[in-house]
Structure 1
Amino acid sequence: MVKEVVLNDKVIFGNNRPFVLLAGPCAIEGEERVLRIAEKVKEITERLEIPYVFKSSYDKANRSSIESFRGPGLEKGLKILQKVKDKFDLPVISDIHTIGQAESAAEVLDIMQIPAFLSRQTDLVVAAGKTGRVINVKKGQFLAPWDIEQVVKKIESTGNEKILLTERGVSFGYNNLVVDMRSFPIMRDTGYPVVFDATHSVQLPGGAGDSSAGERKFVPYLTRAAVGAGVDALFMEVHDEPSKALCDGPNMVSLEDLEELLIKAKAIDEIVKDI
């Protein structure tokens, strides 16, 4: 058993509960698209009775190229995420990249995410912990699963024990990632719920030269395997037109494929957790 991380009466992570879905487009490409995707995913998850948190980034500060699309920025992006909350009664998650973003982001975000490349940045992790929000740490591609315990201790030092830990693959040679399914029980030994990032795990970092490539076709296989390993949540970036997405299109799940993927994942989850 792990600690339950409670977001609200509908969204509770851990303790052998059904998996929670964290999903939405990689970056906020515009208010209209964000609202459209949020509405569609909410319809799907309500139909399947899957707890749902909307995800999108107001700033992708770790893009490969200086010319890459990053999103609308903190102020405008948070306003759009607030509209998602108000219109659809959904909790939201997004990344912070600097200490200065923590306080402003905490006014809107229900879950504050630490990007993988920044997971060892002590001051950032501590600043996030001090907000009192739920903190989702993406385990760095350069970290072993047992290394995440030190990140957990940094957050716990603030008195915050509302922690989620996400596996998103580990570097495997150049421009490639691999997911070690042993990482889920190892990370769970910290006492906190674990999340599987199904789309970034099939990313090929820098694989397109000035941007990352990806292998979307493997998302269903890794998703089923991770749910079979007993994860507490799934993280997926979804888009209505992945081929035209301004960020991470090659590894995002198409909205039209999401429901079938979740139906199969839920069936496995119910068997594994005896729900």
Structure 2
Amino acid sequence: MIGFEESGVSFGLGRLAVIAGPCALEGLDHALMIAEACKRVCDSLGVGYVFKGSYDKANRTSADSFRGPGMEEGLRILSEVHRRLGVPVLTDVHETWQVKSVAEAVQIVQIPAFLCRQTDLVVAAASSGRVLNVKKAQFLAPEDMGSVVDKCRRAGNDRVMLCERGSVFGYRQLVVDFRSMPIMREMGCPVVFDATHSVQSMGGLGGRSGGDRRFVRPLLRCAASLGVDAFFLEVHQDPDKAPSDGPNMVPLELFGGLMAEVKGIWDRAMESGFASLDWVEMP
């Protein structure tokens, strides 16, 4: 069975995991508040939980946009969340020189979608030995991710997850092709569905990205019915005042109900045998 474990959380192996947290880190107290709330929900549902947060949003639309606390402070926050709560933590890297420090602080290193074709970055991250979450670029076909996986494996790392986060469909618009998840699963990797970035409108608010969080729920329901290995979503106690990606994020107060709903769909799909990210012959 495809999958692996990290810090007590299973990715694949017939188990569901949830990766959730704010877009950009806003301080230790804020990170702990979000992480503790999400962990309680996931623990109650029997789901593995990973905290995510970015120390630097390097691909912001405007030079004036909030980017986060920076690498030194951000990695300190992430390390403290892991130490206090015992959950694995995830953050992204943008340049090869960042990989060593990031890999020392977190359990899962993420390659952003726009950078998944950057060979040196992918190889450096894979060589760290950490679990990787590689986001499929908005401009790539799912089949193209096979080359990314090959780079990681040649670097000695087969603990790789592939993440669907929507594909470009005209200016500023993204759509989700649900065929991509079984296609990427054929590469022998657990597959993650990023529901909140999939509803993003890149640059849709002029100097910053927009989005429509109303569509997070139906997209998650679809992914749950496929038996996807992990959900990825950004949450915030007040998304409309969040410094980054607010229009896409799920209000923290709705996180528990949403997760209970989609976990129920996931359970029923898995129990019925209907859900399969592995190709099957049509009858």
The bucket for the TM-score relative to the shorter chain is over 0.9
Counterpart-to-counterpart distance in 2, 1:108 and 1:72: 15
Amino acid at match of 2:182: P
Structure 1 residue 91: deviation in Å?
0.7
Q: Partner residue of 2:173?
A: 176
2:89 counterpart (74, 88, 92):
92
Q: Partner residue of 2:30?
A: 33
Amino acid at match of 1:211: R
Structure 1 residue 31: deviation in Å?
1.6
Amino acid at match of 1:130: S
Counterpart-to-counterpart distance in 2, 1:5 and 1:73: 31
Counterpart-to-counterpart distance in 1, 2:184 and 2:83: 34
2:184 counterpart (183, 187, 209):
187
Q: Partner residue of 1:11?
A: 9
Counterpart-to-counterpart distance in 1, 2:159 and 2:99: 16
Structure 1 residue 84: deviation in Å?
0.4
The TM-score normalised by the length of structure 2 is: 0.94
Structure 1 residue 166: deviation in Å?
0.0
Q: Partner residue of 1:164?
A: 161
SS at match of 2:123: helix
Written as runs of structure 1 = structure 2, the 5 A alignment for 1:21-170 is 21-170=18-167
Counterpart-to-counterpart distance in 2, 1:39 and 1:233: 19
Amino acid at match of 2:251: S
Structure 1 residue 5: deviation in Å?
2.0
Paired residues of 1:112 and 1:133 also in contact (CA < 8 A): yes
Counterpart-to-counterpart distance in 2, 1:187 and 1:217: 26
Structure 1 residue 18: deviation in Å?
2.5
Identical pairs, percent: 53
SS at match of 1:27: coil
Counterpart-to-counterpart distance in 1, 2:85 and 2:74: 17
Pairwise CA RMSD: 1.0
Q: Partner residue of 2:270?
A: 273
Counterpart-to-counterpart distance in 1, 2:183 and 2:227: 12
Counterpart-to-counterpart distance in 2, 1:167 and 1:86: 29
The TM-score normalised by the length of structure 1 is: 0.97
Structure 1 residue 90: deviation in Å?
1.0
Structure 1 residue 42: deviation in Å?
1.1
Amino acid at match of 2:243: L
* Structure 1: 4+ residue segments shifted above 2 A: none
Structure 1 residue 272: deviation in Å?
1.7
SS at match of 2:256: helix
Counterpart-to-counterpart distance in 2, 1:182 and 1:5: 23
Amino acid at match of 2:146: E
Counterpart-to-counterpart distance in 1, 2:41 and 2:266: 17
Counterpart-to-counterpart distance in 1, 2:60 and 2:120: 22
Say yes or no: does 1:207 pair with 2:191: no
SS at match of 1:274: helix
Structure with more contact order per residue of length (Cα contacts < 8 Å, sep ≥ 6): 1
Counterpart-to-counterpart distance in 2, 1:222 and 1:172: 16
SS at match of 2:58: coil
SS at match of 1:41: helix
SS at match of 2:40: helix
Amino acid at match of 2:4: V
String of CA shifts for 1:121-163, please: whole Å, max 9, x gaps. Answer: 0000000000000010000000001000000001111111000
1:241 counterpart (238, 241, 246):
238
Amino acid at match of 2:11: F
Paired residues of 1:171 and 1:177 also in contact (CA < 8 A): yes
Aligned residues: 272
Counterpart-to-counterpart distance in 1, 2:4 and 2:115: 22
String of CA shifts for 1:239-275, please: whole Å, max 9, x gaps. Answer: 0110100000000000011111111111111112228
Counterpart-to-counterpart distance in 2, 1:148 and 1:261: 30
Counterpart-to-counterpart distance in 2, 1:193 and 1:43: 24
String of CA shifts for 1:94-119, please: whole Å, max 9, x gaps. Answer: 00000000000000110000000000
Amino acid at match of 1:78: L
